[in-house]
Amino acid sequence: MEPITLHAAARDGTLSLVPVSQLTVENLTAPNAAGTTALHLAARYGRLRDLPPAVLTPAALLRKNESGYAPLHHAAEAGHLDQVPAAVLTREALLARSNSGYTVVHVAAAHGHLAQIPAGLLTPELVGLKTELGNTLLHEAAENGTLDLVPPAFLTAALLNEHNISGETVYHVAALNGHLDQIPCALLTRENLLQQTTAGDTVLHAAAIAGHLDQIPAELLVHDNLTVESKSGYTAIHAAAETGQLGKIPAAQLTVDLLLTRNDHGDTAIHAAAFAGYLRQIPSEFLTAELLNVRNYDGVTPIQTAESNGHRETVPEELRTKPTGWLKRLFKRIGDTRTPWPS
């Protein structure tokens, strides 16, 4: 039987129809144009039990394709490691890396299949191994929403605070992907959530940017935490204002001091809300002429920011800019009676 036929049988689930004499290591590890073997496909589609045990050797299951993926990686991704002989699932095998530095354990963690790794092999050292991007398996689990499937013994502050090459901790990745709720509440502390990336972003920045500020404990959404600056002078309160999340901050914390926090351009959080069309999320008592006319370092006010970005309707009507000169004459000439500006 030609290797390509074995590829199809491995993919389609018809390996049981193939003569046993054809199911040899040589045939099953013959690569196609992409370097993928029938054994890769059998591992991906859960067909390893259809093969003679004698062909499921470490050498065969660790043979890599062009992306550096071995059949074990595919089994880990698809949740079929339980079909791999126990003798093959050694620490050495689990450490096999793809071209991007992903071990079999990283792949299992990313896809929620850590439970298929023999308990005795999963150690803090293994959990802390990093890909070329500096991600541990906890980073991968945080990105894919499978942290809740990681054994609790490995959800420690030390492992969760491991940094990747961008300086992101597991907390940052979980915040960006909306999975902070999979981390034990006792570990969501000020110290852990104020860790900064190489760009200076805290976990609060990440949660605010991605729209998941509601996953931060309310007691941590306070002035001192929300005004920590990144290297560009950006704060979490600016991010919250730009992404329409001011309503997720406890009302008692939305003070004038917080809303007047400036970035490196002199923009306040009110400017940020105005820019994105979220002025109406600011409590009405703060939408005053005084606060809406605070100027940034270029002399621009929140009112001007809102109007120049197409959000004029969010400015209190009595504070909206009135047309003058040629603009006023233009409205008269075209007879546009819909303009909300008074004559």
Q: Which of 32, 64, 96 is the last residue of a domain?
A: 96
With respect to residue 14, please indicate whether it lies within any of the assigned structural domains. yes
pLDDT for 155: 97
Q: Rounded to two decimals, what is the model's pTM?
A: 0.86
What would the pLDDT profile of 274-322 be if each residue is shown by its tens digit? 999 999 999 999 999 999 999 999 999 999 999 999 999 999 999 998 7
**What is the CATH number for 22?**
1.25.40.20
HEC sequence for the chain: CCHHHHHHHHHHCCHHHCCHHHCCHHHHCCCCCCCCCHHHHHHHCCCHHHCCHHHCCHHHHCCCCCCCCCHHHHHHHHCCHHHCCCCCCCHHHHCCECCCCCEHHHHHHHCCCHHHCCHHHCCHHHHCCCCCCCCCHHHHHHHHCCHHHCCHHHCCHHHHCCCCCCCCCHHHHHHHCCCHHHCCHHHCCHHHHCCCCCCCCCHHHHHHHHCCHHHCCHHHCCHHHHCCCCCCCCCHHHHHHHCCCHHHCCHHHCCHHHHCCECCCCCEHHHHHHHHCCHHHCCHHHCCHHHHCCCCCCCCCHHHHHHHCCCHHHCCHHHCCCCCHHHHHHHHHHCCCCCCCCC
Q: 332 in a domain, yes or no? A: yes
pLDDT at 207: 98
For residue 54, give its domain range. Answer: 1-96
Q: Is residue 148 part of a domain?
A: no
Classify residue 211: in a domain, yes or no. Answer: no
Once rounded to an integer, what is the mean pLDDT over residues 90-99? Answer: 94
Q: With 80 as the cut, is the pLDDT of residue 232 above it? A: yes
Provide the domain count of the chain: 2
- Domain end residue (candidates: 96, 123, 149): 96
Specify if 338 maps to a domain: yes
Taken as a whole, the chain contains a residue count of 343
**Which of 65, 96, 127 lies at the terminal end of a domain, its last residue?**
96
Dist CA 108 CA 73 (whole Å) = 8
- Residues 199-220 have a mean pLDDT of 98
